[in-house]
Amino acid sequence: MKKSLLIMLLSLTMVTGLLAGCGAKEEADPEPDTPVVEDVDVEDVEDDASNPDPVELTLWVTSRNADDWSEAMEEKFLEEHPWITLNKVVKEGDPGNEFYQGVASGTAPDLVDASFAMLDTFMTAGIVEPLNRYVDEWDEWANFTTEYTDMFNVDGNVYAIPKEVAPMLFGYNKALF
Averaged in consecutive runs of 10 residues, what is the pLDDT profile of the chain (177 residues)?
43 38 38 44 53 90 81 92 92 80 91 84 90 91 86 90 74 84
Q: Are 119 and 152 in contact (CB under 8 A)?
A: yes
84 beta partners: 55
- Give the largest Cα separation in the chain, rounded: 68
Residue 45 lies in a domain: no
Residue 47 lies in a domain: no
Residues 6+ away with beta carbon under 8 Å from 25: 117, 120, 121
Task: Give me the domain span that covers residue 65.
Answer: 2-19+53-164
Q: Are 93 and 120 in contact (CB under 8 A)?
A: no
pLDDT of residue 50: 67
3-state secondary structure of 58: strand
State how far Cα 59 lies from the chain centre. Answer: 8
**The model's pTM:** 0.60
Number of domains in the chain: 1
Distance of alpha carbon 8 from alpha carbon 12, whole angstroms: 6
3-state secondary structure of 55: strand
Closest CA to 154 of 66, 3, 32: 32
Residue 68 lies in a domain: yes
Residue 177 lies in a domain: no
Q: What CATH number should be reported for the domain holding residue 86?
A: 3.40.190.10
Residue 85 lies in a domain: yes
pLDDT of residue 147: 84
Residue 173 lies in a domain: no
7, 9, 14, 18: CA torsion to nearest 10: 110
Residue 157 lies in a domain: yes
Question: For residue 112, how many other CB atoms are within 10 A of its CB?
Answer: 30
Query: Angle, to 10 degrees, between the axis of helix 96-105 and the axis of helix 116-125?
Result: 30
Distance of alpha carbon 153 from alpha carbon 100, whole angstroms: 21
Residue 34 lies in a domain: no
